[in-house]
Amino acid sequence: MSARAIRILGIDPGLRRTGWGIVEISGNRLAFLGCGRVETDDREALASRLAAIHAGLARVIAQFAPQEAAAEATFVNKDAVATLKLGQARGVALLAAAQAGLEVAEYAPNLVKKTIVGAGHADKAQIRMMIGVLLPKAEPETEDAADALAIAVTHAHHRGAALLRARLEPGPKGRQAKGGESGRIAVKPESLP
């Protein structure tokens, strides 16, 4: 009996460029399906740029029909304005996934790097090289797409723990959620192995 294939959307949010990557996991096999990025025009109004990110990811979701999604967790930059803009882009990216009914797991950047490269402080070139090793058919043209694939691969490796943790987290009024009763997957990146 073969394992059911699961398609995973990885999202690397950004206001200028939001990377996306799709992988499929079946048992212990991992396959590349697609990657790219949604770009926005700096000259456009913020609302238009956010709408473009949402529409672009909605098209990707409609085309590839993933069952799960993963995104890079929020981190705080020294530049408060940049952090706020990233948060807004991230919000519409998560909204696109949620509107499609996808559970979204979140992973800290250092966990993604450690999962892909083996070191929590790897650089973008190392991540891109390892994506080529892990997904030989993948040829991401941009760092954003490579990072999104890295996030998807990280979720493929950690999804069992993320799903179990979501089921065990307290539900409403402190009771334990059982089976499908839990809402969204709320992965606390610092608690992952």
Triad 11, 59, 184: Cα angle to 5°: 50
CA 50 to chain centre: 17
User: Each residue of 57-66: b (16+ CB within 10 Å) or e?
Assistant: bbebbeeeeb
Alpha helices in the chain (DSSP H): 46-64, 80-99, 109-117, 124-134, 143-168
Indicate the length of the chain as a whole number.
193
Q: Catalytic residues, which ones?
A: 12, 72, 144
What is the rounded CA–CA span in Å between residue 185 and residue 193?
A: 16
Q: Are 18 and 89 in contact (CB under 8 A)?
A: yes
